Structure 1
Amino acid sequence: MFEKLIVTRTLRVPASTGTAGDGSTVARQLDAALLSVGFSAESALLAHVGGLAIGPAMDLAATVVAGVRELVGDHVRHNAYFIGFPHDVPDTMEFWLDRLREAVLAGGDTAGVRLPDGGLNLLELPGYGTYQHTYAELLAAHDELVAKAGDRVTLLCLGDSAEAETERLYLALAGSVTPLGEADLAILGELAAACADGAQPDVIPVRENRAVLNGVRLSLGRPLLAVDTTTDVLRLACGVSGGDATLRTPTKFRSFRRPERRVLLAALDEVVGANAGKLGDVARYAEPWKRLGERLHPHEFPNWPHARAVFEVARRERRVLSIAGRAEVAFRDGATQKAATVLSASPGLLLRSADRLLRQAPAAERAAVVDAVTGALPTASGRVLLSLREHVGNRLTPASARMYASRSRNSWIGPDTRAPLPPELVGELSALLDEEIGGRLPPFEHPLLVDPAVLDVALPLSGTASEGGFAVLPRGSRASVEGELLRFFMYWRQTAKRTDYDLSVLLLDDEFRTTGQVSFTNYHHDGVVHSGDVTEAKEGATEFIDVPLSLRGRYVVPQVNIYAGESFDDVAESMFGYQIREKSQRGAPFDARTVRARSTMRGPGRVALPVVFAKGERGWQAVWLHLYLRGTPTFNQVETNQFTTLDRVRALMERHYLTMAYLIRLWRTRAEVTMWDGRLPDWPVTFVGLEAPGGLPDGSEVFTLDRLGELIPE
């Protein structure tokens, strides 16, 4: 049931339980099919397929090939508007005039082409924005791709049975110490239903995960798991109502069956009965609590007075100040030390407020505040400690701009008016955090073998700072880009109405000043070439941009603008990715073997900023952004949003992110760590890298991109 999901999520192929036989022919066909899209099967996987009867071998091979093709975006047809792209792309103005000339020569009515302000309505020009050739004709116009040694080959490994792999993935997602992205939360919901009667994680640290799991368990009549705050119940009620379990947006609660009301109210009563202080969280979400009370009818259950107290607080019939509320009163009174004392009851909240406390504390109170922060370290979560460590590392000097990225990947940016923290204080806090984090690193049975390529990956502290896809890294991560030509591709398929997405590139110099742009209004600039503007996508559409890496600029910023139609959340499908090629390879505009990364585009804005490419001392690097700009409802263009783009790119590029290199540095003081040089070890190891090499000794444990979050200490 979940075989394809497991392949795309983990690059492991669940072992088939099909009838044994001679499937060697299918194994050879599978190997060839995988190589054609940039994948390779380890010998154990090919042997497993070869040992199956023809029927089950074909079923397994079809699942694997379909999964990896979807992973890199090869499951759809990527046609280019100009059939000869990247060659034979005309000058933009000449092309527009050619379209206008054809309209005039055709003798049609050209009144609709001219706009009142004297401009042109491109959509009315004959042939503009729609493919003038088929996908087959595109392929026929291009030579075959010339294979190069640098082309990507991603290894697929043989896994355990589908049931074991499903349970492993379920436990990993449910027990994640960092919040999951929307795609993984949806996967968790599906897995939770299948695994409801099996093993459950010992701890579920992330509350959104609890809401998803308990939503499934509520519908199946199973006991709830890990409910220890009133807000856990509210998240659950939002989730099962089809709303937002993160509580960022309002939810319209559905009607609950009486057994469901009993479960929810019983959970509330138990939480408040065990600790009346949990009522302090209710006022923060008073409005949704009041609306939920109208659905749960707590007055019908007199045996649960603690549950009724929740709704009394929401209706302001009882006043209970939260820890944050009491701390805010102390802040307003100028009593910083008292605020720290109040916040000490919630270590996570105290550490999230540490910067404010340290900035506002008078010199006489600073030592007491530092003591409070130090006292909170042992009981705070590892994710909070790492977040504070990253924050402190960026506080020695004010940034050129202060940017905050929300969970929905929107961003706020403004001047950094905070006073710097004293260097000696930053050093003291950093040392304390390093000691606490290092002491929590999970021990391993075998020595650590680390692929240097993983060192620049930002610590995956939140799935909301990333997107689903292939080889997609968390925000702030860097990946080397080696080759002669960088090719962006953007694909979308509309759901119900005409939708026009535009792929564009903004080019910047060392000082983040614009040196040029390439888009549907400018097909050429300094060797950068656009494939042509497609303005609707009933059957799906793709736009490409080629960027030679001999480019003179410093930063290349691709962006996707919604010019008209459906949002990123509403289209049937949308993706962004990049390929790396040598100029001599030629081939069709899209070839899966050259795809280095492919990400989905799902977000609330009208402009997507997936990644920026930066040239530095180590050559070109891809630096992941995962940001969305609000933009305007229609007609978004690179020319009109370049200033907001520049601010965000600069703020992110100047920020110091905690990366895997930080954790590896801490591990070196506690374990044997070796950098991988491409040679296989002779003994079992704990391998940490972006992809697993084939042939590791039996007993080795592998942490690749899908498992790096498991290295975050609890």
Structure 2
Amino acid sequence: MNFIALKRLFILSVSEGPGISTANKCVLQAELASMGYRLTNPELLDRASETFFLKYRDTMNFLKSLRGGDVDYVPLFTGFPDQVPEDNAYFARRVMGYLGNRFDMFEDGTLLESGIRVPEWLFDLNAFGADPITQFQVNSLWEQGVTDQNARETEERVQWIDLELVFEDTASDRLRDWLRAALYANASVKEEWHDDLSELLTLFGAKALDPNQIAQKENLALVMRLLWREGYHEDAAGLAQNATDLLRLFAALTDSNISLATKITFPKFSRPQRRAVLGVLEKQRNLAEDLNRYRGLWLEIGRYLHVSEFHKTHPHTHKAFDLLRNGKVVTFNSKTEKLIADGLVTELLHHLEHRPGVLARKLHELLRRFPKKTTAILAAFERSAASVTAKNLLVLLHYFQSINESPIRTVVNKRGKMKVLENNAVQGMTPSQVDQTVALIREQLTHRIAEKESWVDQSVWIDPDLEHYIVPLQQRAASDGLLTFGRGSQIPIDEGKVLRLFVYWKQTARTTDLDLSLIQFDETFVYRGHVSYTNLASDGIVHSGDLQSAPRGAAEFIDVTLDQLPKETRYLAIQVYRFAGEAFAEMQAHAGWMVRKKVSRRYRGFDIKSVVNKFDLNGTGSYCVPLVVDLKTRRAILTDLYMGTRAFYNNVEGECGNVAKAVQAIVGYRESRPNLKTLAEIHLAARQGEIAQSETADIRFGVKEADFNAHDTATILADLL
């Protein structure tokens, strides 16, 4: 529980007592400061118990891991960033080393554990953290590199992270509130939160929640799993509103993907459990159609449920499975498409009003294909809008506001992979249609927000900087890390001389090579150069060298000296490529960036105090684009995208065009996606609050230290949407 509180809420839990001794207070605050943490209320230590120190070391180690300081970072070139060899000369020496070892030409030199012999005249091994010829890790050079890094000076600049001290009861209450906010969120939360949510569910019990307030089906599956495992099978299955909800329960029970984006496995059922499942299916009105949405999965699980054994007690379910097996299911979507193709608009709108969510998704297509029926289409949408979530109304609002402006559109799927598409809709709607649609959606969204608690006589402050922070609507596949802002948010880069990027990975079963790379683009997203293992340096940018294996844990860095970059460079796109070996999710892998004031071989390559963000690499793509830097605005744009389909041999040269499109798309998120400032202003108007200055406001929207913080995605999704 304490670790979840630290990771999710940045609160440090202590038990009450007579006070911690002065010596221990100094030890605690000094060690926290060495990692870049500080207490916002250290006076609480005078009322805390010394028992905190019984788990002190575990707590410190966990705080290290949050910023990536729990592992050792040894680059290939130990003289980085001062002493990085020239590409061609280094490559020529490597070739000489390969040939010399292949034909047994070297009589003298150091024989490494790998069997490679390195003559002193060819390479000075003190300058390398791995074999300079193969670029594979060897124990002796790695251990020498660790010793060297630990002996170096640390950075004087600190990127502070604030921790709040709270007593255990308060921590418990805050975690219960966070659990409810996360599970009541009106958009998907991070998959990497699921373990923490499950642990808290087990701790607090299902009675701590109101299932009726759980809007997201994936969150509901976690509650259903808890009830199922405690033996309340009928209660668990009873929370399912359709067949797909049961599939999510099965996925949760077998630790498969709850979003159903990938193939799931099924639990073994006892006879009472089968009856509980079949009892839910029997009550569904459109069962055959619901089953058909995941036909392959249901045909497989039907064999485990033994539906035919219950044909007398559950005839509706038996018939639905029979239709499913014979491929005779008539679906809502197939009827929709036929009505669209036949141009029967009146019948189509009557049909769609039974599924408001489908009508909302089809709204643009209908307006584009039947412009003469605009009034009727919008009237049908208005009649059904009460059943469309505030989240979807907000997305629709910004979709239609930008529909005629951008030449490209982006789609991010359940697994966090992006596709960049041409905006074929640019010619599809007239300005009058767009204006009418936007006005109607805004009106409906305002009505929905107005249903929340009134802010009459309440003063509200909205931080203008929130316009740079995107509403976190697509969090399902988002990487877990220090910063939890929505994808596309633009974070100011604090003053510093150098932006140091880093990646770390440790292979498990196969030799694995990840490559940290960077592409430069100008104002119009035209390629202006790159730095990677194929090009180690450019004006103001330098790479720490390519490591091609990671049995001990490998690290690569790129330093960007911000005031030395070419004037035509506007954007820096950072990528991590899978060149060979294991997928990101199969191993321990993370990346991030630091802002450094001093960089030379005198200072540690990785300095925990200067880490701005550290995040896990866990996506399914062949490469990751975690970050884009806008040099003009001095902001880091969180992208957190996984792209590509090739299993191996991915690099900058092969993906430059796709990265350019992704960068253009993510930079455009400020115009095409709703931001937190706009969301706050909608609440202010709909709930009739009065705008005020920060110091006097009753309700505050801000980046941090506010009632609604930009990084508090759970609260935003639960309370504002």
What displacement does 1:236 show? 1.6
The equivalent residue for 1:33 is 31
Distance 2:249 2:56 in 1: 39
What displacement does 1:667 show? 3.1
SS where residue 222 of structure 2 aligns?
helix
Matched, 1:592 2:590: no
**Pair 1:581–1:259, CA change in 2 (3 A):** same
SS where residue 577 of structure 1 aligns?
strand
- Structure 1, residues 164-184: CA drift from partner, whole Å, max 9, x if none? 344223222222211122201
The equivalent residue for 1:672 is 690
Amino acid at match of 1:158: V
Distance 2:61 2:8 in 1: 13
**Pair 1:265–1:42, CA change in 2 (3 A):** same
**Pair 1:249–1:107, CA change in 2 (3 A):** closer
SS where residue 208 of structure 2 aligns?
coil
Q: 1:400, 1:651 within 8 Å by CA — same for their partners in 2?
A: no
What displacement does 1:395 show? 0.6
The equivalent residue for 1:119 is none
Matched, 1:323 2:339: no
SS where residue 376 of structure 1 aligns?
helix
Matched, 1:462 2:474: yes
Q: 2:39, 2:163 within 8 Å by CA — same for their partners in 1?
A: yes
Distance 2:272 2:288 in 1: 24
Q: 1:580 aligns with which of 569, 590, 595?
A: 595
Amino acid at match of 1:601: L
- Structure 1, residues 550-579: CA drift from partner, whole Å, max 9, x if none? 2220110010011111001111x1111111
Matched, 1:376 2:376: no
Amino acid at match of 1:633: A
Where do 1:634-653 residues align within 5 Å?
Answer: 634-653=648-667
Amino acid at match of 1:423: P
What displacement does 1:599 show? 1.5
Distance 1:411 1:187 in 2: 27
Distance 2:62 2:358 in 1: 42
Distance 2:433 2:14 in 1: 54
Matched, 1:513 2:526: yes
Distance 1:673 1:138 in 2: 56
Distance 1:254 1:465 in 2: 24
Q: 2:63 aligns with which of 63, 68, 75?
A: 68
Amino acid at match of 1:574: A
Q: 1:277 aligns with which of 275, 286, 296?
A: 286
Distance 1:481 1:712 in 2: 29
Q: 1:15, 1:48 within 8 Å by CA — same for their partners in 2?
A: no
SS where residue 286 of structure 2 aligns?
helix
Where do 1:118-157 residues align within 5 Å?
Answer: 126=133, 128-130=135-137, 132=141, 134-139=144-149, 142-147=152-157, 151-157=159-165
- Structure 1, residues 568-607: CA drift from partner, whole Å, max 9, x if none? 1111x11111111234797322222221112111111111
- Structure 1, residues 632-670: CA drift from partner, whole Å, max 9, x if none? 222211111111111222223234221001112223422
Q: 2:76, 2:547 within 8 Å by CA — same for their partners in 1?
A: yes
**Pair 1:477–1:197, CA change in 2 (3 A):** closer
What displacement does 1:61 show? 4.2
The equivalent residue for 2:166 is 158
Q: 1:211 aligns with which of 221, 240, 244?
A: 221
Matched, 1:537 2:550: yes
SS where residue 517 of structure 1 aligns?
strand
- Structure 1, residues 616-635: CA drift from partner, whole Å, max 9, x if none? 3xx22111222112242222
Q: 2:502, 2:591 within 8 Å by CA — same for their partners in 1?
A: yes
The equivalent residue for 1:78 is 73
- Structure 1, residues 487-527: CA drift from partner, whole Å, max 9, x if none? 11111111111111110001111121111111111110111
Distance 1:539 1:672 in 2: 58
Matched, 1:253 2:266: yes
What displacement does 1:396 show? 1.7
Matched, 1:304 2:303: no
SS where residue 82 of structure 1 aligns?
coil
Amino acid at match of 2:562: L
- Structure 1, residues 179-234: CA drift from partner, whole Å, max 9, x if none? 12220123223333333353113411111112222123212112226321222122
Matched, 1:263 2:272: no
Q: Which residues of structure 1 form unaligned runs of 5+?
A: 114-121, 694-699
The equivalent residue for 1:498 is 511
The equivalent residue for 1:89 is 84
Distance 1:337 1:614 in 2: 49
SS where residue 629 of structure 2 aligns?
strand
SS where residue 637 of structure 2 aligns?
strand
**Pair 1:388–1:579, CA change in 2 (3 A):** same
- Structure 1, residues 442-500: CA drift from partner, whole Å, max 9, x if none? 44776434444433111111312622100142222111123332111111111111111
Count the aligned residue pairs.
Answer: 678
**Pair 1:234–1:306, CA change in 2 (3 A):** farther
The equivalent residue for 1:601 is 617
Q: 1:181 aligns with which of 183, 190, 205?
A: 190
**Pair 1:466–1:591, CA change in 2 (3 A):** same
What displacement does 1:328 show? 1.3
Between stretches 431-440 and 619-628, larger displacement belongs to 431-440
Distance 2:502 2:190 in 1: 23
Matched, 1:621 2:617: no
- Structure 1, residues 654-689: CA drift from partner, whole Å, max 9, x if none? 34221001112223422134464xxxx478x43433
**Pair 1:453–1:579, CA change in 2 (3 A):** farther
Distance 1:58 1:501 in 2: 39
**Pair 1:289–1:401, CA change in 2 (3 A):** same
The equivalent residue for 1:416 is 423
Q: 2:149, 2:604 within 8 Å by CA — same for their partners in 1?
A: yes
Where do 1:105-120 residues align within 5 Å?
Answer: 109=104
Q: 1:407 aligns with which of 386, 406, 414?
A: 414
Distance 1:234 1:152 in 2: 44
RMSD across aligned C-alpha pairs, in angstroms? Answer: 2.9
Distance 1:581 1:307 in 2: 63
**Pair 1:60–1:707, CA change in 2 (3 A):** farther
Q: 2:628, 2:639 within 8 Å by CA — same for their partners in 1?
A: yes
The equivalent residue for 2:573 is 557
The equivalent residue for 2:257 is 244
Distance 1:218 1:32 in 2: 47
The equivalent residue for 2:11 is 12
Between stretches 592-601 and 349-358, larger displacement belongs to 592-601
Distance 1:91 1:503 in 2: 18
The equivalent residue for 2:48 is 52
Determine what percentage of the aligned residue pairs are the same residue: 24
What displacement does 1:366 show? 1.6
Amino acid at match of 2:316: H
The equivalent residue for 1:117 is none
Q: Which residues of structure 2 form unaligned runs of 5+?
A: 107-114, 117-127
Distance 1:110 1:650 in 2: 52
Distance 2:554 2:594 in 1: 17
Distance 1:61 1:674 in 2: 43
What displacement does 1:125 show? 5.9
What displacement does 1:320 show? 5.0
Q: 1:358, 1:369 within 8 Å by CA — same for their partners in 2?
A: yes
